[in-house]
Amino acid sequence: MLTAIAWTALGAVLLFTFGGEPNSQVRVFWLFQPPLDLLLVYSSWRVYRIATGPIRRYWRLQTIGASLFFCGDVVQTGFALFRRDQWSTAGGDIQSTCFAVGLGLIIVGMLIHPLPGRTARESLAFWLDSATVMVGGAVVAWCFAVTPDQQDKNASLIGSLAAGAVVLTSAFAAVKLILSGNAPMHKAAATPMIVAAVVNAVGLFVAPPGAHDSFPPHVYVIRLLPSLLIAMGPRNQEILARFDETAFGSRRRRPYSLLPYGSILVVFVTMLVVLPNGLDTRLWGVVTGLGIIVALVVARQLAAFHDNTSLIDQLREHQERLSHQALYDELTGLANRAHFREETTTALDGAAPGTVALLLVDLDGFKAVNDTHGHGAGDLLLAGVAEKLRQSVRSGDLVARLGGDEFAVLLRDCTVRDAEQTAQRILRSMGDPIEVGETAVRANASIGIACVGEGDDDVRSLLHDADIAMYTSKHQGKGTWNRYEAGMVLSH
Active-site residue numbers? Answer: 405
Nearest to 69 by CA among 109, 27, 35, 37: 37
3-state secondary structure (DSSP) of residue 225: helix
Say if residues 226 and 200 touch (Cβ distance below 8 Å). yes
Q: Is the dihedral of CA 421, 427, 430, 431 positive or negative?
A: negative
Burial class (CB in 10 A: 0-12, 13-18, 19+), 455: exposed
What is the distance between the alpha carbons of residues 151 and 118, in angstroms, rounded to a whole number? 50
Say if residues 20 and 6 touch (Cβ distance below 8 Å). no
Nearest to 481 by CA among 451, 446, 450: 446
What letter does residue 335 receive in the DSSP assignment? B
Residue 62 neighbours by CB distance under 10 Å: 26
Q: How far apart are the first and last CA of the chain?
A: 89
What is the distance between the alpha carbons of residues 59 and 62, in angstroms, rounded to a whole number? 5
Phi-psi region of 119 (alpha: psi -120 to 50; beta: other; left: phi over 0): beta
The amino acid at 205 = F
Nearest to 190 by CA among 142, 130, 132, 235: 235
Residue 117 neighbours by CB distance under 10 Å: 10
Residue 330 neighbours by CB distance under 10 Å: 9
Contacts of 134 (CB under 8 A, 6+ apart): 168, 171, 172, 175
What is the distance between the alpha carbons of residues 380 and 436, in angstroms, rounded to a whole number? 6
Cα dist from 121 to 1, 124, 128, 173, whole Å: 42, 5, 11, 21
